[in-house]
Amino acid sequence: MERVILIKYGELTTKKGNRNFFVHTLTENIKMKLKNYHVTIKKDLSRMSISFDLEQMDEILEKINQVFGIHAYHIAHKVPSNIEDIKIEILTMLKSISFSTFKIEVKRSDKTFSMNSMELERFLGGVVLKNLEGKKVDVHHPDVLFKVELCKDYTYLYTNSIKGLGGYPVGTQPKALAMLSGGIDSPVAIYLALKRGIKVDAVYFEAMPHTSIEAREKVISLTKKLAKYKNKITLYVVPFTEIQEAIYKNGNSDYCITIMRRMMYRIMDRLCKKNKAVAIINGESIGQVASQTLNSMAVINEVTKTPIIRPVACLDKLEIIDIAKKIDTYEISILPFEDCCTVFVPKHPVINPVLEECLKSEEKFDYFEMIQKAIDNILTFSITEDDKKKYEDLL
Ligand code: ATP
Ligand code: MG
């Protein structure tokens, strides 16, 4: 008897036309995720089954729990589709658990089988009552719900349902570029964007020597954690020092952050076009700091037409922290290395910036050329979850 992980497509998408694409993307993602394990993946119209080596079960389940697009799965026993094998296996499985009431639910996709679903349910229920003492059928609130999925050659039997990560398979939406700082919010924003199926790559603005190499290492570590959910994440490191220094030399200091963020968005806009990304993602949360009031966002947003997705915009900090802990980025995010925003924070950052004031400051220096130079000098890292590389050669 074989043990398999059974994944149903039921909740994958409500759009019928998309189903094949979703299932194909999910299958490819699972294959990639399990590439180092002995598994066989088979698909039919409504389910995917993954045969695995029992000794590797814990590790494989951990990997399955990192794949978006799986809402629930079952660990099932797979037996040949004949009544004798099904009968024996049901009794063996039920003998190993304690319960008083049960219900058997049969789904039959092989319509040529000698009994229909209801007949089979009754028959198997009778087998259990006859062979196991003191058990009762309860169709409304059974202690054990025993599922039988009868396909042409094989039948799957299970009593469990394990919650998956949910969301849509990564790759069912196009590419977007996310602004990844070393903070708590942006890794969570990226996680949530990946959950919607978006192919996210990351961009980090650094201002060396005002920021340290440790700050960059921190961002690389965060990217590695996020690469659990997407096979590979490209991290673009943008040298931002010259622009940042020019902003501080030429501008009204209360406006420095506003203008700095406008420059970031201008660069993001260019990078999106260059990399065929259709949206910008970031970790802004409404009201969290001066540059994230709605009025600030509007003035900052003015420099780009690229859609900006802010997955944590309406979450409380504590809600964001909960997710950060769950995805294991929190401990890295709270490491005390400053990034370019924290190094240059003005005393009184403006809460209600005025567009004209930004334009006046920006006129004072040739930011076009600086932006081009920053883009020309971007460092690119390709990061996977199990990367052993230390990136020393690139640091
Ligand atoms: P986080 O918001 O990730 O906790 P933070 O609080 O330091 O970090 P904010 O100043 O709140 O960052 O900036 C809001 C968002 O802008 C960040 O979530 C991130 O998406 C983006 N951002 C800020 N600084 C950088 C940076 N140096 N590189 C890339 N993106 C950045
Ligand atoms: Mg923040």
What pLDDT score was predicted for residue 67? Answer: 97
Dist CA 282 CA 189 (whole Å): 6
**Do 71 and 123 fall into the same domain?**
yes
Lowest mean pLDDT among 198-207, 219-228, 290-299: 290-299
Atom number, ligand 1, closest to the C-alpha of residue 240: 27
What pLDDT score was predicted for residue 181? Answer: 94
Could you identify the residue written with the tokens 């979850």? 385
Provide mean pLDDT across the span 36-62. 93
Cβ of 180 less than 6 Å from ligand 1? yes
Dist CA 299 CA 297 (whole Å): 6
What pLDDT score was predicted for residue 221? Answer: 96
Cβ of 283 less than 6 Å from ligand 1? yes
What pLDDT score was predicted for residue 348? Answer: 80
**Do 270 and 326 fall into the same domain?**
yes
CATH number (domain holding residue 269)? 3.40.50.620
Report the mean per-residue pLDDT for the chain: 92
Sign, Cα dihedral of 281, 283, 285, 287: negative
Which two three-digit tokens encode residue 17? 């036309």
**Do 20 and 149 fall into the same domain?**
yes
Atom number, ligand 1, closest to the C-alpha of residue 339: 27
Q: Band of the pLDDT at 388, cuts 50, 70, 90? A: low
Q: Which of 179, 259, 269, 286 to mutate to test the pocket of ligand 1 (most atoms within 8 A of CB)?
A: 179
Residue that wins the pLDDT comparison between 50 and 395: 50
Q: Band of the pLDDT at 46, cuts 50, 70, 90? A: confident
**Do 288 and 316 fall into the same domain?**
yes
**Do 58 and 156 fall into the same domain?**
yes
Closest-CA residue, ligand 1 atom 2, reads: 185
Q: Which of 341, 343, 381 to mutate to test the pocket of ligand 1 (most atoms within 8 A of CB)?
A: 341
Q: Identify residue 132 by its one-letter amino acid code.
A: L
Cβ of 205 less than 6 Å from ligand 1? yes
| DSSP for 131-194, written as a single string | HSTT-EE-SSS-SEEEEEEE-SSEEEEES--EEEEES--TTSS-EEEEE--SSSHHHHHHHHHH
Q: Band of the pLDDT at 341, cuts 50, 70, 90? A: low
Closest-CA residue, ligand 1 atom 23, reads: 181
Instruction: Tell me the residue range of the domain where 278 lies.
Output: 175-394
Q: How crowded is residue 361: how many other Cβ atoms within 10 Å of its Cβ?
A: 18
pLDDT in tens, 318-336: 999 999 999 999 999 999 8
Distance from residue 253's CA to the centre of ligand 1 (Å): 19
**Do 155 and 185 fall into the same domain?**
no
Of the residues 166, 188, 207, the one at which a domain ends: 166
Where does residue 182 rank: exposed (0-12), middle (13-18), buried (19+ CB within 10 A)?
Answer: buried
**Do 218 and 141 fall into the same domain?**
no
**Do 343 and 194 fall into the same domain?**
yes
